[in-house]
């Protein structure tokens, strides 16, 4: 069999995904010897014209990381879809919108004026004599699957070595799962977490910097908002194992659906202020109000999956 031609492309991301294959360690050398890199801007010089010159299906697998934030992002992923047999959403941004997706809390216009100062416009930049200009922002951030058909997902921020390894092993093994497969566990992260769970009663939310958690007990039991119950396993609970809560980067389990929605259910079940009943309502509300930055905590990676922005500027009540 000929070596599969792979492409890795970045859209609105931080570059961490492009570096992440190094996490695999020495095994990456084996992988690289079994594939041919057709296009990977972070590794080698290749331009859009080089991709345009390829025949349809000229790329076997395109790994795309980053959320879609500019019109150029959208054009490039459409082009890559046309040239690729398989498209993989690689990393949390391509999968769910990622941290970039939190940009949906603000209008594109407001983001541009904040970053560049007043007078800059989100829509049609034309401020350079030779026509060089950053591409216009889209109205909102969307994950890859909102714009093109995505065959597989390698999730994580960035994808953990285990899952990158799993993907390449499967790809080179030649037997791919049915389309739509997410290369992670179906079960929640708690299933892989080494910490001991108890009968939980949450009487106070604690932020990670406010305490040194007990090394053996479940973080949720200790009051730290850990997204483990609604997040897919696959990373071997890397963060909780080191005392930091899971923030949900691998994405929701099929059962949880919406990360924030699922986690609200989980937290509501855990919170108590003495015996349940009308008398406890006010104290329960105090506990619940202790959740700092609910949107940023519960929707850290998946905001753009659920909440879209369709206008570049403008406000609403």
Binding-site ranges for another protein (CB under 8 A)? 104-107, 110-111, 113-115, 140, 257-258, 260-262, 264-265, 267-269, 271, 276-278, 281, 284-285, 288-289, 291, 293-296, 298-299, 306-310, 315-317
CA pair distance 210, 117, nearest whole angstrom: 35
269 token code pair: 């079940």
* Burial of residue 17, with CB atoms counted within 10 A of its CB: 0-12 exposed, 13-18 middle, 19 or more buried: buried
In the complex with another protein, the residue whose CB is nearer, 140 or 240, is 140
User: For the chain, how big is the Rg over CA atoms in Å?
Assistant: 22
Considering the complex, what minimum distance in angstroms separates the CB of residue 207 from another protein? 16
In the complex with another protein, the residue whose CB is nearer, 81 or 309, is 309
In the complex with another protein, the residue whose CB is nearer, 103 or 158, is 103
In the complex with another protein, the residue whose CB is nearer, 84 or 247, is 247
Q: How many CB atoms lie within 10 A of CB 163?
A: 24
In the complex with another protein, the residue whose CB is nearer, 113 or 170, is 113
CA pair distance 313, 307, nearest whole angstrom: 16
Considering the complex, what minimum distance in angstroms separates the CB of residue 305 from another protein? 11
Q: Which helix (H) or strand (E) holds 167?
A: helix 161-173
Half-sphere exposure of 33 (CA within 13 A, CB side): 5
Contacts of residue 134, Cβ cutoff 8 Å, sequence gap at least 6: 70, 125
In the complex with another protein, the residue whose CB is nearer, 242 or 317, is 317
Considering the complex, what minimum distance in angstroms separates the CB of residue 271 from another protein? 6
Q: What DSSP letter does each residue of 83-132 carry, written as one string?
A: HEEEEEEESHHHHH-TGGGGGGGS-HHHHHHHHH-TT--SS-----TT--
Is 294:267 a contact under the CB 8 Å cutoff?
no
Considering the complex, what minimum distance in angstroms separates the CB of residue 52 from another protein? 34
CA pair distance 289, 28, nearest whole angstrom: 46
Considering the complex, what minimum distance in angstroms separates the CB of residue 156 from another protein? 22
Considering the complex, what minimum distance in angstroms separates the CB of residue 202 from another protein? 10
In the complex with another protein, the residue whose CB is nearer, 45 or 315, is 315
* Burial of residue 213, with CB atoms counted within 10 A of its CB: 0-12 exposed, 13-18 middle, 19 or more buried: buried
Considering the complex, what minimum distance in angstroms separates the CB of residue 180 from another protein? 19
Considering the complex, what minimum distance in angstroms separates the CB of residue 257 from another protein? 5
Tokens 């092993």, residue located: 169
In the complex with another protein, the residue whose CB is nearer, 29 or 268, is 268
């Amino acid at each position: 069999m000929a070596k599969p031609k792979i492409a890795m492309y970045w859209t609105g991301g931080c570059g961490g995904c492009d570096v992440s294959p190094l996490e695999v360690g020495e095994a990456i050398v084996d992988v690289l010897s079994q594939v041919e890199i057709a296009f990977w801007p972070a590794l080698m010089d290749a331009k859009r014209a080089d991709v345009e010159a390829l025949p349809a299906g000229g790329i076997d697998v395109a790994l795309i990381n980053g959320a879609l934030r500019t019109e150029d992002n959208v054009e490039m992923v459409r082009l890559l879809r046309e040239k690729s047999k398989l498209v993989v959403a690689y990393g949390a941004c391509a999968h769910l919108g990622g941290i970039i997706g939190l940009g949906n809390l603000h209008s594109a216009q407001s983001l541009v004026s904040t970053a560049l100062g007043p007078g800059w416009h989100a829509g049609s930049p034309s401020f350079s004599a030779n026509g060089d200009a950053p591409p216009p922002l889209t109205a909102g951030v969307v994950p890859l699957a909102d714009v093109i058909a995505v065959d597989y997902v390698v999730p994580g921020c960035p994808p953990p070595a285990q899952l990158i390894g799993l993907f390449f092993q499967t790809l080179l093994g030649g037997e791919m799962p049915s389309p739509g497969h997410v290369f992670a566990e179906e079960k929640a992260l708690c299933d892989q977490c080494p910490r001991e769970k108890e009968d939980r009663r949450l009487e106070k939310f604690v932020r990670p910097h406010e305490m040194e958690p007990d090394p053996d007990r479940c973080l949720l039991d200790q009051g730290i908002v850990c997204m483990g119950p609604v997040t897919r396993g696959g990373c071997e609970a890397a963060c909780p194992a080191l005392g930091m809560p899971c923030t949900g980067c691998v994405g929701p389990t099929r059962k949880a659906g919406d990360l924030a929605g699922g986690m609200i259910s989980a937290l509501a079940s855990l919170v108590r202020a003495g015996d349940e009943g009308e008398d406890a309502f006010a104290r329960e509300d105090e506990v619940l109000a202790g959740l700092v930055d609910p949107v940023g905590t519960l929707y850290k990676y998946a905001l753009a999956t659920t909440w879209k922005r369709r206008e570049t500027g403008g406000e609403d009540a």
